[in-house]
Amino acid sequence: MFSSTVENYLKAILVHGEGSGGEVMPMGALAEALDVSPGTVTTMVKALAGQGLLAHRPREGVKLTKAGRAAAAAVLRKHRLVETFLVTTLKMDWAGVHEEAEALEHAVSDRVLERIDELLGHPTVDPHGDPIPSAKGEMAGPGGASSSRLTLASCELKTQWSVARIRDQTPAFLNFIRDTGLKPGARVRVTRRDPAGGVVCCEVKGAGEAVIGLGEAGNIEVRK
């Protein structure tokens, strides 16, 4: 239906919206996310706006239309179901599946995807804790009940929390998370937080102490 390039544009805008309440995404941010030049984004955005997939506010940014959001959700669903599949069924390394899924999401047909969904038992979150859009394109969106916005940078000290989501798919960060045991599901207690020095110390059940930067802590969502 759409080229991989188009799918990537749409997905990038949707994911950006996931983390920032659906506001317009500046052209520069899109260029950054897709690793192309700003001029390329302007050209492409105008074409996609012409197709009714997004609304272009010149010198401001872009926003998905209804049609664009639906298409983007379908891609994101593929991405996250594939990630889950790679970890659960193929037992691949948790930290590496993002890149693999990046390629597969454009090649997996709806029929294959439904078989994968079935095999996995209709999961609602992927291995990083990111919500998987439904087949109808519904997402546990930014305002949704599942999105706590509570992170290791903001949660109460000395209480037991459960890691819910890792909001940063860079391999280096994911490796770090794996090594400290802070994967989704892990039980954790923040023992000390030093805003001045920018560090957060915590105790991970079954995996000992961990010290992480304050900014990084803000990318680890917790719950309960």
Partner DNA sequence: AAATCAATTTTGATTGATCAAAATAATGTG
Partner DNA sequence: CACATTATTTTGATCAATCAAAATTGATTT
Site residues (vs its own copies, CB under 8 A): 86, 89-92, 96, 100, 103-104, 106-109, 111-112, 115-116, 119
Non-local (6+) Cβ contacts of 73 within 8 A are: 14, 133, 137, 138, 139
Interacting residue with DNA among 58, 121, 143, 208 (CB under 7 A): 58
Q: Should residue 60 be labelled a site residue for DNA when binding is judged by CB under 7 A?
A: yes
Of 13, 15, 18, 56, the residue at the interface with DNA (CB under 7 A) is 56
**Binding site partner of 41, from DNA, its own copies, none, Cβ cut-off 5-8 A by kind:** DNA
User: Helix, strand or coil for residue 106?
Assistant: coil
- Count residues contacting DNA (CB under 7 A)? 27
17 binds DNA (CB under 7 A): no
**Residue nearer to DNA on the CB measure, 8 or 151:** 8
Least distance to DNA, CB of residue 107, Å: 15
CB of 79 closer than 8 Å to CB of 11:
yes
Q: How does 136-153 read in b/e, with b if 16+ C-beta sit within 10 Å?
A: eeebbbeeeeebeeebbb
Q: Considering the complex, what minimum distance in angstroms separates the CB of residue 97 from its own copies?
A: 9
Hey, is 58 helix, strand or coil? Answer: coil
The least CB distance from residue 118 to its own copies, in Å, is 8
Task: Identify any residues that bridge with 221 across adjacent strands, giving them in sequence order.
Answer: 151, 165
Starting at the earlier edge strand, list the strands of the sheet with 199-204.
208-213, 199-204, 187-194, 160-166, 220-223
Which tokens hold the place of 11? 């997905």
Q: Which of residues 105 and 221 has its CB atom nearest to DNA in the complex?
A: 105
Question: What are the φ and ψ backbone dihedral angles of 4, each rounded to 5 degrees?
Answer: -60, -40
Q: Which is nearer to its own copies, 92 or 125 (CB)?
A: 92
Q: How far is the CB of 74 from its own copies (least distance, A)?
A: 16
- Residues in touch with DNA (CB under 7 A): 3, 5-6, 26-29, 31, 34-47, 56, 58-61
